[in-house]
Amino acid sequence: MRVFLSLFLLLSVQWLFAQATATLRGTVSDANGVTLPLANVSVIGTSLGTSCNELGDYRLDLPAGRALKVQFSYSGAQSYTEEVILEPGEVRVLNAKLRFITLRPIDVEATRIIRETGVDRIDPKLARFNPSPLGGVEALLGGQLGVVMRNELSSGYSVRGGNFDENLVYVNDIEVYRPFLVRAGQQEGLSFPNPDMIERITFSAGGFEARYGDKMSSVLDIKYRRPRAFGGSAMASLLGGAVHVEDAMLKMRLRHVTGIRYRTNQLLLGGGDVKGDYRPVYTDAQTYWTYDLTPNVELGFLGLYSRNQYNVVPDDRETEFGPFNQALRFTVYFDGQERTQFETYFGALNLNVQASKDLLLKFITSAYSTSESERFTIQGQYRLGELERDLGSEQFGEVVRDLGIGTYLDHARNQLDASVYTIAHKGYLQRPKSYLQWGLDSRVETISDRLNEWYLLDSADFSVPLNTGEDLYLQNTLRADLDVQSVRSSAYLQSTWRWESKDSTDRWLSLVAGARAQHWSFNGQVVASPRVRLVWHPGWKKVIRPDSIVDRDYSFWLAGGLYYQPPFYREMRMLDGTLNPDIRAQRSIHALLGMDRWFEIWERPFRFTAEAYYKAMDDLIPYEVDNIRIRYYGTNNAKGYATGLDVKLAGQFIDGIDSWMSIGVLSAREDLKDDFFYWRFNAAGDTIFPGYTRDNVAVDSSRVEPGFIPRPTDQRVNVAFFFQDEFPRWPTAKVHVNLAFGTGLPFGPPNNNRYADTLRTSLYRRVDIGFSKQFLGAEGQNRSGWRRHIKDLWLTAEVFNLLNIDNVANHTWITDVTGRQYSIPDFLRGATT
């Protein structure tokens, strides 16, 4: 009986307590609707409080029947307080929007989490106004620290000496991939992220946290929106269109955002050197749904279908190049066609469980499938001639001497099918003095690759290499049937600590430390990567006069770690089409020292950032870049390094309109461990160069070991500039300017000898400009009638490559019967409106 009474009293007390409490939950965001992870929610005058999770959501149990003042706060934002009185057992939703009062360029928020984690935040809305043929969120990366983009039709980018495959891209915590078979930017089409569906973009150029995967260069982390009301957008242009719809239903328990895109670059491709019938069609459809099963459990689904088709029937090509004293013209007449298609399916389910006010658990499963086909047979009959340079000659600008005449035949029938199935778990725990994160995942990768390609060069009726019998020798041939299945398993654990000064909360020190490990079944290798980041905010202040003190908002950081990159399919495939079973993960040791300062100019916010870095790399897999296709050697036979300095100034030169400028210097070099070549000398002691020297009979030779040579991404100087302005007296009319400058990249003849790739392309210079006019949505504009249903209405006009500068995308190599090689630049297109 005593046990029964005790149990009855205990349950009664718990029931009475439950009836005397209530729950307050909601989301904390900024004025633009961007959620604020780790925002603070507290009750003034009590010890009650909590922090938002990674999604910006909070849940707080409060006493019922009392007037309570709930305060929402976030570093750099003005706090917001609201008084609530809750009924016993009530669950009330209270969302809060905070206004930033510190300096805040739109691409980087001056918040604690940005500085602590080492990522920059990018406003996805800028993709609408950034004048770029690419049209995706990747175009916004051109102004980020260390990022180099050389092809405006490709979403590929290199970061601090890395290549396109060394960058991580996440959408809603799921890694996404670029096409495998793509050779040129015009084939690539639409990238995965849809700008209309994005809520938040963060980017790190190195020294990133252990929670991100195993790549050596950078991470781009994208989160799709969880809408709170009905909305949508539509865009139409000469290059395509896009439409998206979003809504929150069932008392905001069910939410979705859905987007469809269509794009064709036919107008752009017609302005290049190669004339023909271009028919590129790029389409995709995406949808993201979330449903609250309970107040603490959310189920989500992300789905995508993408189809990028590129068909072309080339007619002819005419390219003039070279200096004035040796002006050349390359003319080609084509037969044949190219048909390329990349088709992608993707689906992901996630379950988010708010186990307690301090603990968030995520469970994710996803499936990715791609089918890529590449089919072309193109014959080109070419003529390389020297132009008349005499200004007084009637033949000025005409071909007066033939340097090479011949035919080439390029053929491919390639088919690649790949699928990746992933299951993952992530956890987030807010502890009293730290923030703990962990994760586990396992991926099953299946790849089937059918290769059949060859290249025949016939110079002046002589097949090169020369025929010596009845067999026809092809210059390049690749044929293989490859099937690979493997499993990757990884785990990570990291924690964030923060120490504040007792006399000032503006003076603080934070430490982010963690480690991750991965096992790959293909080679049995296990790699472990410790990573650390230390940030110091001194909280300096400047006394202008006794009653005026100005914050000197500096931060300094030191980051580093061990970054492995286990090979994916293309890295382990050698140049002859076979797989290397002994391939190992590439390794890079990062050391990074940086600082930033927030300040005001003309009473407008600005941020200056600088980072110096050094990356020591070994077990590298050498590669060559052919346009945007990376051809790996498939062996770990190189070591290298990359070092440099990046600086960036971002701010509002015009009130409320953001601009930026970044400058980077870089040196990236590598040393192949087993490469060498011989200089051959004739009887006169002259070095033999086929096609140039008359006596090509070698009587002596000298072995040369090249040592360190430039990596294919060794662009010494890179400058990016994005500027926005308003027209005087017409604030609804704006101009947007995008400028890019870069020094030359290394290249060389296509002979699989990396030591020969020490030539340099010409400078990269490009200016794009856009004009926009807002017809609805601005302050003071008429919102009556049908106009009240439209939030914004814009009309834009853009001019690509304003200065009509021919930038080099690649080189076509021609060899005559003497062995002399000619490099013909493949230019990107001219100016387009």
Task: State the DSSP code for 202.
Answer: E
Q: What pLDDT score was predicted for residue 110?
A: 42
Q: What pLDDT score was predicted for residue 107?
A: 34
Q: Distance between CA atoms of 614 and 590, rounded to whole angstroms?
A: 6
Q: What pLDDT score was predicted for residue 469?
A: 53
What percentage of residues in the chain have a pLDDT greater than 70? 91
On whether the CB atoms of residues 447 and 417 are closer than 8 A, the answer is yes
Residue 15's contacts (CB-CB under 8 Å, 6 or more residues apart) are none
pLDDT tens profile 292-309: 999 899 999 999 999 999
Q: Distance between CA atoms of 573 and 635, rounded to whole angstroms?
A: 9
Q: What pLDDT score was predicted for residue 49?
A: 84
Largest interatomic CA distance in the chain: 121
E runs forming strands in 20-95: 21-30, 40-43, 49-51, 57-63, 67-73, 77-78, 80-85, 91-93
**DSSP letter string over 687-703?**
BP-TTT-S----SEEEE
Q: Distance between CA atoms of 298 and 248, rounded to whole angstroms?
A: 14
- Model confidence at 515, pLDDT cuts 50, 70, 90, reads very high
Q: What pLDDT score was predicted for residue 11?
A: 45
pLDDT for 258 beyond 60: yes
For residues 585 and 52, which has the higher predicted lDDT (pLDDT)? 585
pLDDT tens profile 211-247: 999 999 999 999 999 998 899 999 999 999 999 999 9
Task: State the DSSP code for 584.
Answer: -
Task: State the DSSP code for 504.
Answer: -
Q: What pLDDT score was predicted for residue 763?
A: 93
On whether the CB atoms of residues 726 and 657 are closer than 8 A, the answer is yes
Amino acid (1-letter code) at residue 40: N
- Model confidence at 832, pLDDT cuts 50, 70, 90, reads low
Q: HEC string of 176-201? A: CCCCCCCCCHHHHCCCCCCHHHEEEE
pLDDT tens profile 88-104: 888 888 998 887 654 33
Q: Determine the average pLDDT of the residues in 361-380.
A: 96
pLDDT for 541 beyond 80: no
Task: State the DSSP code for 569.
Answer: H
Residue 690's contacts (CB-CB under 8 Å, 6 or more residues apart) are 696, 818, 819, 820
Closest CA to 156 of 123, 179, 133, 173: 179
167: Cα within 13 Å, side-chain hemisphere = 23
Q: What pLDDT score was predicted for residue 126?
A: 85
Q: Distance between CA atoms of 127 and 265, rounded to whole angstroms?
A: 18
On whether the CB atoms of residues 715 and 676 are closer than 8 A, the answer is no
Closest CA to 147 of 205, 201, 202: 205
pLDDT for 593 beyond 60: yes
Q: What pLDDT score was predicted for residue 504?
A: 67
For residues 56 and 511, which has the higher predicted lDDT (pLDDT)? 511
For residues 639 and 629, which has the higher predicted lDDT (pLDDT)? 639
- Model confidence at 372, pLDDT cuts 50, 70, 90, reads very high
Task: State the DSSP code for 570.
Answer: H
Closest CA to 420 of 133, 660, 180: 180
Q: Determine the average pLDDT of the residues in 688-702.
A: 83
pLDDT for 16 beyond 50: no
pLDDT for 2 beyond 80: no
For residues 603 and 90, which has the higher predicted lDDT (pLDDT)? 90
Tokens representing 156 are 């590929």
Lowest mean pLDDT among 138-142, 327-331, 433-437, 714-718: 138-142
Q: How many residues would you count in the chain?
A: 833
Q: Determine phi and psi for 142, rounding to 5 degrees.
A: -60, -25
Most confident range (mean pLDDT) of 296-305, 475-484, 813-822 is 296-305
Closest CA to 529 of 519, 542, 540, 544: 519
Average pLDDT of the chain?
87
Sheet holding 40-43, edge to edge: 49-51, 40-43, 67-73, 80-85
For residues 155 and 12, which has the higher predicted lDDT (pLDDT)? 155
